[in-house]
Amino acid sequence: MARVLVTGRIPQPGIDLLEQAGHEAIVWAGPGPMPRGELLRCVEGASAVVSLISERIDAEVLTAAGPSLRVVSNVAVGYNNIDVPACSAAGVVVTNTPGVLTDATADIAMALILMVTRRLAEGERLVRSGRPWGWSMFTMLGTDIRGRQLGVVGMGQIGTALARRARAFGMSVVYSNRGEADPAAVSELGARRVEMDELFATSDVVSLHCPYTAETLHLVSAARLQTMKQTAYLINTSRGPVVDEAALVDALASGVISGVGLDVFEHEPEVHPGLLDRDDVVLLPHLGSATVETRTGMAVLAARNTVAVLAGQPPLTAVRA
Q: How far is the CB of 283 from ligand DGY (least distance, A)?
A: 15
**Residue closer to ligand DGY (CB basis): 117 or 237:** 237
∠ CA 248-249-254, rounded to 5°: 100
Q: How far is the CB of 97 from ligand DGY (least distance, A)?
A: 6
Among 53, 72, 82, 84, binds ligand DGY (CB under 6 A): 53
Site string for ligand DGY, 64-83 (x = CB under 6 A): ------------xxx-----
Catalytic residues: 239, 268, 286
By CB under 6 A, the residues from 95 to 154 that bind ligand DGY are 101
**Residue closer to ligand DGY (CB basis): 76 or 84:** 76
Q: How far is the CB of 101 from ligand DGY (least distance, A)?
A: 5
**Residue closer to ligand DGY (CB basis): 84 or 145:** 84
Q: How far is the CB of 294 from ligand DGY (least distance, A)?
A: 8
**Residue closer to ligand DGY (CB basis): 272 or 286:** 286
Site string for ligand DGY, 5-44 (x = CB under 6 A): ----------------------------------------
Under the binding rule (CB under 6 A), the answer on residue 289 touching ligand DGY is yes
**Residue closer to ligand DGY (CB basis): 80 or 172:** 80
Q: How far is the CB of 288 from ligand DGY (least distance, A)?
A: 5
3-state secondary structure the chain: CCEEEECCCCCHHHHHHHHHCCCEEEECCCCCCCCHHHHHHHCCCCCEEEECCCCCECHHHHHHHCCCCCEEEECCCCCCCECHHHHHHCCCEEECCCCCCHHHHHHHHHHHHHHHHCCHHHHHHHHHHCCCCCCCCCCCCCCCCCCCEEEEECCCHHHHHHHHHHHHCCCEEEEECCCCCCHHHHHHHCCEECCHHHHHHHCCEEEECCCCCCCCCCCECHHHHHCCCCCCEEEECCCHHHECHHHHHHHHHCCCCCEEEECCCCECCECCHHHHCCCCEEECCCCCCCCHHHHHHHHHHHHHHHHHHHCCCCCCCECCC
Binding-site residue total for ligand DGY (CB under 6 A)? 7
The footprint of ligand DGY (CB under 6 A) covers 53, 76-78, 101, 288-289
